[in-house]
Amino acid sequence: MRLEDKVVIVTGAGGGLGAGIARVCSREGARVVVADIRGDAAQAVAESLPGPALALACDVGDDDAQHLLVVQAVERFGRIDGLVNNAGINFAKPFLDTTAAEWERIIRVDLRAVFFLSQKVCRQMLAQARPGGSLVNISSVHSQAALPGAGPYDAAKGGVVAMGKSLAVELAPLGIRVNAISPGLLNTQIWQDIQDAAPSAEECLDYWKSNIPIGRVIETEEIGELAAFLLSPASSAITGANIFADGGMTAQLISKEPYVSRALEGK
């Protein structure tokens, strides 16, 4: 097992992507700290995992809550070997209507929290008998391309990648690796909401399939497999990377044509 006996904190793990990551980490042998602002949801996920787990209610945007998360994780499992910064808030609102309070809220949770929770975890990692570890920051395809109305979210997710590169360079000599994963469209509640909001679920599915070369949304445990790899010694040469797990979405120039073109051979 890739993560045998390692202690991994996964934030935002009370459902969706975080729960999928927690399941894979647990299956790979990790002792998982399931952190979520919804304590009951965190508890339900922790109880469903095959290995040892600890559920903790935590608002990652609160510095005191971050500190308590690290303290309780160490009290229970003795050390911390990995952190997956997954907790975040989605956001879509026209630029001209976005308020300062909304900007601050998204940046606080999606960017500031990643920096300061990572700082607290890294201090713990360096104080341990066997110092070192791995951080995995969940970014988004929004770190590469944008949609209208997603300014604060795009700023935060792009910032997570840029910040991670800086941390990776600084922490590499200390034995701590820092990488990012940028998922595409995931099979979570957000995907269900997108379908529910469309005039036709079938047309919605066809549209998104045309924008995803593999022709489907991505399952949360597929991202979990990548996170487990980045947390494990198998990825020991990888740091400062941002890996796109998006089914080819950001590799495609424009939406797929709704017709078949004849061959263009050039003259």
Query: Can you tell me the distance from the alpha carbon of 143 to that of 122, in angstroms, rounded to the nearest whole number?
Result: 24
Q: Is residue 206 assigned to a domain? A: no
Structure confidence at residue 205 (pLDDT)? 86
pLDDT at position 266 is 67
Residue 181 lies in a domain: yes
Query: Is residue 63 situated within a structural domain?
Result: yes
pLDDT in tens, 218-230: 999 999 999 999 9
Matching residue, tokens 């360096």 = 126
DSSP for 4-47, please give it.
Answer: TT-EEEEET-SSHHHHHHHHHHHHTT-EEEEEESSHHHHHHHHH
Give a yes or no: residue 193 inside a domain: no
Helix ranges (DSSP H) in the chain: 16-27, 39-48, 63-77, 100-107, 113-127, 151-171, 189-197, 201-211, 220-231
199 occurs within a structural domain: no
Taking the CA atoms of residue 21, residue 26, residue 27 and residue 28 in that order, the dihedral angle to the nearest 10 degrees is: 90
Our answer to whether residue 207 is catalytic in this structure is: no
By the 8 A CB rule, do 83 and 171 touch? Answer: no
Cα 34 to Cα 13, 88, 111, 149, 178: the distances in Å are 6, 15, 20, 31, 20
> What is the token pair recorded at 132?
């070192």
How many structural domains are present in the chain? 1
Residue 66, in any domain of the structure: yes
Flag residues of the chain having pLDDT under 70. Answer: 261, 263-267
In a domain, 210, yes or no: no
Q: Domain containing 159 — which CATH number? A: 3.40.50.720
Is residue 240 packed enough to be buried (19+ CB in 10 Å), middle (13-18) or exposed (0-12)?
Answer: middle
Asked if the structure places residue 259 within a domain, the reply is no
Catalytic residue among 28, 70, 143, 153: 153
- Residue 89 domain boundaries: 7-185+219-246
